[in-house]
Amino acid sequence: MKKPNKIVIAIVAAILLIWWYEYAWKDALTNYRWNNELVLELKNFKMPTVQEFKSWYKRNNKALSIPYLNIRRLDLLTWIWIIWLVLFLIIRKLNT
């Protein structure tokens, strides 16, 4: 089976993006008003210090109730992300 030309793919993608903008997002984008509280919060954002981060980590990193394991919630998310990344790289390597 013949592969489609890259130019044809680009034209079809451009037509789909134009259609999506015209029919789905044009009114939403033109009638959108910024929420002033959100803008002010973003303007006044300051990077947290190391001490603030440590206190936030201690407050939000509660232990899960798994018997015989003392796994913390944020650590579990980190391990899941690392395992997912390693599996993705292995599968990608096997497919090439």
- Exposed e or buried b per residue across 19-58, where buried means at least 16 C-beta atoms within 10 angstroms of its C-beta: eeeeeeeeeeeeeeeeeeeeeeeeeeeeeeeeeeeeeeee
Q: What is the pLDDT of residues 46-67, one digit of tens each?
A: 888 889 888 887 887 776 666 6
The pTM for the full model equals 0.32
CA 52 to chain centre: 24
Residues 6 and 41 in one domain: yes
| pLDDT for 3 | 77
| pLDDT for 84 | 92
Residues of the chain predicted below pLDDT 50: none
Residues 36 and 65 in one domain: no
* Cα end-to-end distance, the chain, whole Å: 21
Instruction: Give me the domain span that covers residue 78.
Output: 53-96
Rg (CA), the chain: 24
| pLDDT for 22 | 72
Residues 31 and 61 in one domain: no
Place of tokens 């210090």: 49
| pLDDT for 31 | 58
Number of folded domains that form the chain: 2
CA 39 to chain centre: 21
| pLDDT for 87 | 92
